[in-house]
Amino acid sequence: MTDCKTDRTIIDKTRNRYIKICGLTKLDQAMAIANMGANAIGFICVAKSPRYIDKQAIAAITSRMMANQTDQMLPDFIGVFVNASIAEICETVSYAGLTAVQLHGDESPEFCKDLRSQLINQDLFNIKIIKALRVKDDAGLNQAQLFTDHVDALLLDAYDPHLHGGTGKTINWQMLQSFQPKCPWWLAGGLSPENVAEAIAQVAADGLDVSSGVERSAGDKDLERVAQFLAIAL
- Catalytically annotated residues: 22, 157
Give the rounded distance of the alpha carbon of 138 from its chain centre: 22
Task: Sort 163 into a burial class: Cβ within 10 Å, 0-12 / 13-18 / 19+.
Answer: middle
Task: Please check whether residue 179 is in contact with residue 141, taking contact to mean a CB–CB distance below 8 angstroms.
Answer: yes
Task: Please check whether residue 36 is in contact with residue 24, taking contact to mean a CB–CB distance below 8 angstroms.
Answer: no
> How far is residue 106's CA from residue 132's CA, in Å, rounded to a whole number?
9
Give phi and psi for 52, each to the nearest 5: -60, 140
Cα separations (Å) of 18 from 41, 50, 65, 143, 230?
11, 25, 20, 23, 10
> How far is residue 67's CA from residue 145's CA, in Å, rounded to a whole number?
39
> How far is residue 8's CA from residue 149's CA, in Å, rounded to a whole number?
17
